[in-house]
Amino acid sequence: MAGKKYGKKQDKKANKGKNITETSSLIYKKDDLIELRIEDLTEEGNGVGKIDGYTVFVHNALPGDHVESKLIKVKRGYAIGIVHQMHEKSSERIEAPCPYASKCGGCQLQDLSYGGQTNYKEGHIKASLSRIGQVSEVEMHWDGFRGMENPFHYRNKGIYQLSPKRDLAGFDMGFYRTRSHDLVDVKKCMLQSETANEIMEKFRVALEGSGLSIYDENTGKGAMRRVMIRTTNALNDIDEEAMLVLVTAEVSAEIMRFAKSLAALDGRIKSIYLNINSDPGNTALSQNYDHVYGKVHLIDYIGNTAFKISPQSFFQVNSRQTQVLYDEVVSCIRELENSHSVLDLYCGIGSIGAYVSKHIPEIDKIVGVEVVESAVEDARENALLNGLTNTEYHTGAAEDVITALKEQGEMPDVVILDPPRKGCDEALLQTLCEMDVKHIVYVSCKPSTLARDLAYLGERGFVVERTVGVDMFPHSTHVETVCLLTHISSM
């Protein structure tokens, strides 16, 4: 749709023959009103509209919305706006079920129907792979998008911030607004598990009656800073359990008594820690933990695979969809004729490798590589916990470790890549190509960096054999993708 612009009449003759991106700062200015049809969403959840080829990013706008946007920032190549008036709502726009959705920074898409969310995420993956990765929809061999049957109360971990109320007695407990330290007091979160919500309600009441001071980040005074809760899955014969981690700026006898007393709040609280963090910065947790009560770690499951959960363990926050994601990895490996040895890079606590080992026991060897030493220690413990005998783990940068493995004659049949959002280091991809790797299962949490890496691998002979999308984080813009790649020399 060609947008309309309201404001001073432009001198068309002066701008004749000039590229729109060269003159946009002259054409539009802050506070201008522009009529737009929103066509897409950014990875941050902002609506995208265009007027004569000029891009406008609009906060709180959805694809299909017809809006009048007020520009709050104007640059040469783009502008940022807010919704000044809604002319027509998208057919997929709904009333957000959470009363905090417009305030809290935890969700970007609650006012988009769940069908609309999954359609957007599927389209985002396909568009990224096509535009950046130069992989057409036919070439990506799309095998569907795996959404959630119930896309609420899926998170097994939450960090609740604490702040004293301004000019009032008491405190707020909840989550920050997007890109701010403005705390939204949240009584119940629709993403956290039901158990977490119930326990945090009891915790709030207990803290209100404790007399303990709340940390004020403006003054640096006060004790209680935040609380983290981790919950496990309830299985057929295993009850749900919870771990509390109280983050404090100091330690005192009163704080220790309060921490120990929390065990009586709810029978599902099985572990309590203190985390002492006096750093005035934004780091949520320090490395200084004090075990106060109960179990040192909890046990959680992804399918039939068990994992030890400590306060600092990296563990996927959506256990139900993690099983769906890992099942897709297993399915990709099972498609291959030769998969006796697997190299699991960016392996973290070894969760993918352990799950694959349990489901494909005929694999001779799974070698995990991770740069964080504590994660490697957890991976080894998880292998023992599951009775695995075909796994080994190495600490170090992936490109360095696999070079050493190559020199030792270790040549994997399959490589699993599960990098952070920034994607793989080019040095790693180059080394994999030099090792003549035949098959790669790439697990991505950001379509644009996945597409970039696919373009690199595609130029060196890899083709995509299968692509699947998985919704790990409903109501956010984040999405996971699993790609199976094979080198043309082995086809």
Strand partners, 462: 487
Query: Are 141 and 162 in a shared domain?
Result: no
Q: Is 59 part of a structural domain of the chain?
A: yes
Residue 145 has pLDDT above 90, yes or no: yes
Same domain for 10 and 73:
yes
Predicted pLDDT of residue 491:
75
Interval 266-283 mean pLDDT:
94
Average pLDDT over residues 425-446: 94
Residue 277 lies in a domain: yes
475 and 380 belong to one structural domain: yes
Q: Looking at 142-156, 232-246, 446-460, which range is the least confident one?
A: 232-246
End-of-domain residue from the set 239, 270, 297: 297
Cα-Cα-Cα-Cα torsion 290, 294, 296, 301, nearest 10 degrees, comes to -140
pLDDT of residue 302: 96
* Options 104, 332, 445, 483, the catalytic residue: 445
Please tell me the distance from the alpha carbon of residue 385 to that of residue 101, in angstroms, as a whole number. 40
96 lies in some domain: no
Does one domain contain both 167 and 145?
Answer: no
| Domain finish residue from 246, 263, 297 | 297
Answer positive or negative: Cα dihedral of 460, 462, 467, 469: negative
Do 290 and 400 lie in one domain? The reply is no
DSSP assignment of 90-148: -TTB---SSTTTTT-SS-S-TTB-HHHHHHHHHHHHHHHHHHTT---HHHHTEEEEE--
Residues with Cβ within 8 Å of 254's Cβ and at least 6 positions away in sequence, in order, are 210, 211, 212
Asked if residue 417 and residue 334 are part of one domain, the reply reads: yes
Report the DSSP beta bridge partners of residue 294. 271
308 found inside a domain: no
Does some domain include residue 97?
A: no
Does 31 reside within a domain? yes
Residue 483 designated active-site:
no
Rounded CA separation 340/379 (Å): 20
Asked if residue 93 is part of any domain, the answer here is: no
Residue 278, domain CATH: 2.40.50.1070
CA distances from 126 to 304, 314, 479 (A): 32, 29, 12
> Of 262, 297, 332, which residue is a domain's last?
297
pLDDT computed for residue 166 by the predictor? 83
| Number of domain units in the chain | 3
Same domain flag for 343 and 318:
yes
Least confident of 153-162, 166-175, 188-197, 472-481: 166-175
Clarify whether residues 189 and 283 are in a common domain. Answer: yes
Strands 142-146 and 462-470: parallel
Q: How confident is the model at residue 26 (pLDDT cuts 50, 70, 90)?
A: low
Q: What is the pLDDT of residues 95-136, one digit of tens each?
A: 999 999 988 878 999 999 999 999 999 999 999 999 999 999
State the average pLDDT over residues 166-171. 85
Average pLDDT over residues 15-36: 65
Residue 45's domain comprises 4-88
CATH, residue 350: 3.40.50.150
Model pTM score: 0.91
Q: Say yes or no: 161 and 191 in one domain.
A: yes
Q: Which of 73-87, 110-124, 230-244, 314-328 has the lowest mean pLDDT?
A: 230-244
The answer on pLDDT for 14 being more than 70 is no
- In the predicted model, what is the mean pLDDT of residues 390-416? 91
pLDDT tens profile 463-475: 999 999 999 999 9
